[in-house]
Amino acid sequence: MLLFSNQQAFRLRDESRVEFFKLNVEFIILFQLLEESIVTFVKKELKKFQKVLSPDYPEYLESQREDEKVLDGEDEDEEQRRRSREAFLKITLHFLRRMKQEELADSLQSSKRILTDLKMGHLLMSENMH
């Protein structure tokens, strides 16, 4: 007993192919957008690291403090961005060490730690003022 005629079977196959093609195109576009987003993030973070390691670092630190507005509490998006930055820092440190750039990696790591400590101190001071 035939469930589908040959014509129906061909139509189903054609519809499946079209659906598969649409999903494949959406998948490709999704990954292009993902790649674009990651590359943009990486470039921004690398520029920050470069500034942290530059001789003009104190000026950069001061401009960072002026640029960043301290909120009473971090929202989920800000917390996620912070975690992404921390993860990227770890990746960068790993790659610098693989490239035998231990001194640069150590300098970046300690500079970022100082920046974090300063931010936390700034947060604590602003909390005490409220």
pLDDT band at 87 (very low <50, low <70, confident <90, very high): very high
> Are residues 92 and 52 located together in one domain of the fold?
no
SS3 for 23-77 is: HHHHHHHHHHHHHHHHHHHHHHHHHHHHHHHCCCHHHHHHHHHHHCCCCCCCCHH
Residue 65 lies in a domain: no
Instruction: State how far the Cα of 99 lies from the Cα of 105, in Å rounded to an integer.
Output: 10
Domain that holds residue 11: 1-57
The pLDDT tens digits of the residues spanning 5-61 come to 667 666 767 778 788 788 888 888 988 989 999 999 999 999 988 888 887 766 655
Number of domains in the chain: 2
Residue 80 lies in a domain: yes
Residue ending a domain, among 32, 57, 82, is 57
